[in-house]
Amino acid sequence: MIYLESFKPASRAQEESRLVGSDGTDGRARGEHSHLVDMACFSSNNVYPFKIFPDKGLNRLSFEPITVLYGGNGSGKSTILNVIAEKLELDRSSPFNKTPYMEEYLRLCSYETARGGRIPRGSAIITSDDVFDFLLDIRSINQGIDERRNALFEEYDLLSNPNHHYQLGSLEEYHTLKQKNKARFKTKSAYVSEAMGSREVQGQSNGESAYLYFTERIRENALYLLDEPENSLSPKLQLELARFIEESVRFYNCQFIISSHSPFLLSLKGAKVYDLDSRPVTVKPWSELENVRIYHDFFEAHKDAFK
C-alpha cells in the first residue's frame, strides 16, 4: 500500500531566496520577503535544516510500500524523516527540538499522496528517543515492582515468624493479624505473587522490550516513519522486525519509510533504497551499499572460521 507517493525538500533556488547570500544580498534584494531574513541572529552558516539537501542533489523522493534511506552519520537521513513527519503533521511520542528555521523550511517543501488521498489517521514517526523513553518507563516500573516485592518478602518473614505476637488494639493491628494468618498457610512465593497481582513486568531484555514496542505501536492501514529502528535490537531481533514490517505491508496495508544502515533492514523484500552518501542521492541495490560491502568483505576474509 502506498499513501505517500513523493516528497520534495526545498530546492536550491527556494533556499537561496530565503538566505543571505555571500554577496550580501538576500531574498528582499530580489523582491522577495521572508521573516527569517529580518532576524538579527540569522546567518548563512547555521540555518538547519537549510543548506543540507541541495548539495546532495536531493530534489525528490518517490516512495514504495517500503523505502529505506541509507547513509552514514551526518548524511541527513534522520533530518529528512523529521522534515517529512513535520510537514505531514504525523503523530510522534517524544518531543522534537525544532530550530527557529524549521517552520520556514517546511513552507518550501511539498508532497504528493497516492491518488490525491489523505495520509491515514494514526500514521506516525517512531524515533530512537521513543524507544529509549519506553525502555526507561519499563525500567522505572520494574524498579517499583522490585521495591514492592522486597518489601513483601520482609513482610512475609515478619508475619510468618512464630515468635512475633500481636495484640488487637486497633483496626490496623486487626489487619496485620489477618495478614499473619494468611502468611501461615502460604509459601513465600505464593504470598508475594498474590499481593503483587498482575504487576509483574520484568523478564524481557532491552532488545525484547524494544521489539515489543514496535509490534504494539504499529497498527494496520497507516504510514510509519522509522528512524534507525535497529538500535537496541540484536541481529536476530532485527530479522524479526524485518519480517514484521514485510507482513505489515503485505497483510495490513502499511507503508514504511525507514532510515537505517542495518543490512537486515536494507535487504527488506521489495524495498527501494536511497543512498544519501552518494552525490547526487541515488537509488541503489542494497548489496552495493558501503556498509553492506564492509560486512561482506569482513566475513569473506574470515570465511575459514565458519568451516
Q: Are 49 and 83 in contact (CB under 8 A)?
A: yes
CA distance 117 to 112: 9
Ramachandran quadrant class, 226 (left: phi over 0; alpha: psi -120 to 50; beta: rest): beta
Among the residue ranges 71-80, 83-92, 265-274, 290-299, the one predicted with the least confidence is 71-80
**Does the CA dihedral 183-187-189-194 come out positive or negative?**
negative
Q: What does the pLDDT read at residue 115?
A: 81
Residue with cell 555571500: 22
- Confidence at 111, pLDDT banded by 50, 70, 90: very high
CA distance 191 to 194: 5
Give me the chain's average pLDDT, please: 78
Predicted confidence (pLDDT) per residue in 208-230, tens digit: 777 888 888 899 999 999 999 99
Domain ranges of the chain: 4-10+57-128+207-306, 131-196
Residue 141 pLDDT greater than 50, yes or no: no
The three-class DSSP label of residue 258 is strand
Residue 248 pLDDT greater than 70, yes or no: yes
Q: What does the pLDDT read at residue 43?
A: 46
- Burial of residue 74, with CB atoms counted within 10 A of its CB: 0-12 exposed, 13-18 middle, 19 or more buried: exposed
Cα→Cα distances 189→75, 148, 150, 182, Å: 53, 13, 12, 13
- In the CATH hierarchy, which top-level class contains the domain 4-10+57-128+207-306? alpha beta
Task: Give the CB-side neighbour count of residue 248, counting CA atoms within 13 A.
Answer: 25
- Confidence at 167, pLDDT banded by 50, 70, 90: low
Residue 152 pLDDT greater than 80, yes or no: no
At 60, list the grid cell. 525528490
Neighbours of 292 (CB within 10 A): 20
Cα→Cα distances 104→33, 116, 136, Å: 12, 25, 34
Among the residue ranges 50-54, 131-135, 136-140, 272-276, the one predicted with the least confidence is 136-140
CA distance 5 to 119: 10
Q: Are 174 and 168 in contact (CB under 8 A)?
A: yes
